[in-house]
């Protein structure tokens, strides 16, 4: 019976959830045992015939979750149950060499790395697709003036495309982070009970390097009984950063979809209902879902950081919670990426409303540029600032356009003619370096995605 929404199929794609399926997790662990046996035989630690048999039985597909659970019910040790399940299929000659020189967390930690490896192979292309989509949007709206807001207030003029360029740059940064962290995070450990190499002696590192290569992982530099949890925390941190960027995008879309702003809106398909009570509503539910899931994912970082400080060479205080944090973080991020892809694919941009909002303050959005013009005419900056503030507040009280108020003000009109003022009140004259920034980001994103 499904308990969590993930179990019920509400969140996450099938491809990402398959990685954390019980049988798939067991298969990762069995592949590890097979690779260790093969590597040990290659350096002469265990007999070749035994290694071949162990690898064949481990990969046979005959070892099921059900059987492992039956054995675990007796031993109350999940890894011991896996070793016993392999042993049931092997000859007496091979049995002594199963799991030779290993400890349970060699199996657990390396299989977690295998899960993270395959998760990133799905997540990274989705982040790259997101970066490319955002870069395309940036280019599409490159030359469109829009209101730039700070503190929720109209501040100055930006290119509407610059919003997307910032997000595209953020996503490209995440791609680089993913690639850079793999060497530190996707590690293989075969160093036994307390990280010395134990029974494998001087050949332990050679075995570990061979196993890591077979599993497309990196040999851990040093470990106790477990891989240092800094690596897991870094993995969760990277996912949480991506989630935070998706949340940032979602919050902006939600704000732009507010009735009072109306510059952008999520796609709304035929037959969709925005409210059970109000037929006319079109709620930004996908963006809200992204923000909601981001809160859960980000909270898992705290748990991951707590797991770093374990007793001596290890304790079990990390074990239970990692069964939640890593799978859930990956699955929720996958859901967020899929949702945001749908939002961006059908995002509605209201060009007319963007233009109307530029005039919402009746020209006061141009104050920065009028101030600059006055300074360049020789007026002290503080004097110009106060003059503009006085004129703007007066225009607001009288409900007149800022341009008309400036033209009527003797102090300001003595410095700037009406023609000079009119030229300032053209939004296309104030995009500044926006085009260069957007072009640069678009080029950079293409290079990162191509690498």
Same domain flag for 319 and 204: yes
Whether residue 438 is contained in a domain is answered as no
CATH number of the domain where residue 368 is located: 1.10.40.30
In a domain, 330, yes or no: yes
**Predicted local distance difference test score (pLDDT) of residue 45:** 97
Distance (Å, rounded) from C-alpha 35 to C-alpha 313? 25
| In contact, 36 and 102? CB cutoff 8 Å | yes
237-278 pLDDT, tens digit each = 999 999 999 999 999 999 999 999 999 999 977 666 666 666
Residue 118 CA neighbour count, 13 Å, CB half: 18
Taking alpha carbons only, the member of 268, 407, 289, 376 closest to residue 340 is 289
Task: For residues 54 and 164, state if they share a domain.
Answer: no
Print the domain residue range for 402. 364-424
Count of domains for the chain? 3
Among all chains, which residue has been given the structure tokens 């996912």? 239
Asked whether residue 244 is domain-assigned, the answer is: yes
pTM score, two decimals? 0.94
CA distance 367 to 370: 5
Q: Answer yes or no: do 109 and 93 share one domain.
A: no
Could you give phi then psi for residue 281, rounded to 5 degrees?
-80, 145
Choosing from 97, 114, 129, the residue where a domain stops is: 97
> Distance between CA 322 and CA 304 in Å, rounded?
8
Is 47 inside any structural domain? Answer: yes
Low-confidence ranges of the chain (pLDDT < 70): 270-280
172 occurs within a structural domain: yes
Residue 206, domain member (yes or no): yes
Q: How far apart are CA 237 and CA 177, in angstroms?
A: 10
Tell how far CA 332 is from the center of its chain.
10
Three-state secondary structure call for residue 426: coil
State how far the Cα of 412 lies from the Cα of 340, in Å rounded to an integer: 48
User: Is the distance from CB of 195 to CB of 187 less than 8 angstroms?
Assistant: no
pLDDT of residue 283: 86
Catalytic status, residue 291: no
Q: How far apart are CA 371 and CA 409, in angstroms?
A: 14
75 noted as active-site residue: no
Q: What local confidence, expressed as pLDDT, does residue 280 receive?
A: 63
Q: Are residues 343 and 368 in the same domain?
A: no
- Strand-pair category, 218-219 with 187-188: parallel
CB 325 within 8 A of CB 236: yes
Query: Do 211 and 281 share a domain, yes or no?
Result: yes
Of 327, 357, 387, at which residue does a domain stop? 357
Same domain for 34 and 166: no
Mark whether 348 and 235 lie in a shared domain.
Answer: yes
394 and 351 housed in the same domain: no
CA 69, CA 72: separation in Å to the nearest integer? 5
Q: Mark which of 318, 336, 357 sits at the end of a domain.
A: 357
Domain at 65, CATH number = 1.10.275.10
In this prediction, residue 3 carries a pLDDT of 84
Within a domain: 271: no
Same domain as 180, residue 325: yes
Rounded CA-CA distance 427/145 in Å is 6
Give, for 218, the enclosing helix (H) or strand (E): strand 218-219
Q: What is residue 239's three-state secondary structure?
A: helix
- CB proximity list for 328: less than 8 A, separation 6 or greater: 6, 296, 297, 300
Residue indicated by tokens 């092997």: 90
Q: Note the helical H segments in 141-190.
A: 160-185
Choosing from 60, 91, 121, 275, the catalytic residue is 275
359 phi, psi to nearest 5 deg? -100, 5
Residues 247 and 317 in one domain: yes
Using DSSP's 3-state secondary structure scheme, residue 380 falls into: coil
Strands (E), 350-443: none
Could you tell me if 209 and 287 are in contact, meaning their C-beta atoms sit under 8 angstroms apart?
Answer: no
Please provide the DSSP assignment of 280-297 as one string.
Answer: T----HHHHHHHHHHHHH
Q: Could you tell me if residue 437 is inside a domain?
A: no
Are 341 and 376 found together in one domain?
no
pLDDT of 279: 67
Phi-psi domain of 275 (left: phi exceeds 0; alpha: psi -120 through 50; beta: other): beta
CATH code where residue 243 lies? 1.20.200.10
113/49 same-domain check: no
**pLDDT at position 102, please?**
96
């Amino acid at each position: 019976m499904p308990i969590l929404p993930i179990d019920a199929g509400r969140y996450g794609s099938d491809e990402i959830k398959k990685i954390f399926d019980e049988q798939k997790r067991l298969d990762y662990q069995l592949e590890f045992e097979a690779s260790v046996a093969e590597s040990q035989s290659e350096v002469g630690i265990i007999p070749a015939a035994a290694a071949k048999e162990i690898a064949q039985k481990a990969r046979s597909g005959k070892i099921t979750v059900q059987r492992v659970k039956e054995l675990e019910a007796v031993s109350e040790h999940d890894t011991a149950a896996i070793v016993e399940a392999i042993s049931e299929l092997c000859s007496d000659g091979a049995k002594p060499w199963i799991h030779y020189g290993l400890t349970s967390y060699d199996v657990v930690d390396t299989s977690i790395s295998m899960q993270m490896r395959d998760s990133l192979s799905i997540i990274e292309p989705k982040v790259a697709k997101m970066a490319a989509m955002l870069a395309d949007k940036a280019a599409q709206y490159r030359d469109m003036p829009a209101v730039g807001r700070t503190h929720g207030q109209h501040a100055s003029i930006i290119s509407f495309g610059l919003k997307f360029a910032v997000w595209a740059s953020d996503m490209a940064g995440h791609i680089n982070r993913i690639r850079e962290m793999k060497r530190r995070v996707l590690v293989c450990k075969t160093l036994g009970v307390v990280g010395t190499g134990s029974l494998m002696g001087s050949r332990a590192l050679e075995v570990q390097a061979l196993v890591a290569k077979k599993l497309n992982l990196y040999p851990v530099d040093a470990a106790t009984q477990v891989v240092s949890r800094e690596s897991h925390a870094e993995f969760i941190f990277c996912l949480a950063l991506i989630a935070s960027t998706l949340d940032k995008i979602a919050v902006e879309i939600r704000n732009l979809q507010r009735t009072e702003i109306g510059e952008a809106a999520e796609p709304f398909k035929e037959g969709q209902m925005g409210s059970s009570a109000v037929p006319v509503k079109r709620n930004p539910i996908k963006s809200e879902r992204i923000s909601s899931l981001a809160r859960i994912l980000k909270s898992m970082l705290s748990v991951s950081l707590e797991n770093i400080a374990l007793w001596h060479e290890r304790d079990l205080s990390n074990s239970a919670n990692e069964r939640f944090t890593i799978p859930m973080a990956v699955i929720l991020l996958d859901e967020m990426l899929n949702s945001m892809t749908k939002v961006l694919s059908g995002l509605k941009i209201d060009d007319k409303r963007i233009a109307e909002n530029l005039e919402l303050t009746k020209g006061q959005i141009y104050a920065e540029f009028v101030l600059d013009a006055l300074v360049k005419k020789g007026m002290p900056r503080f004097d110009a600032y106060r003059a503009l503030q006085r004129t703007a507040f007066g225009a607001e009280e009288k409900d007149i356009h800022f341009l008309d108020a400036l033209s009527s003000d003797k102090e300001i009109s003595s410095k700037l003619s009406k023609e000079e003022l009119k030229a300032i009140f053209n939004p296309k004259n104030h995009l500044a370096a926006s085009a260069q920034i957007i072009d640069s980001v678009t080029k950079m994103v293409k290079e990162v995605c191509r690498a």
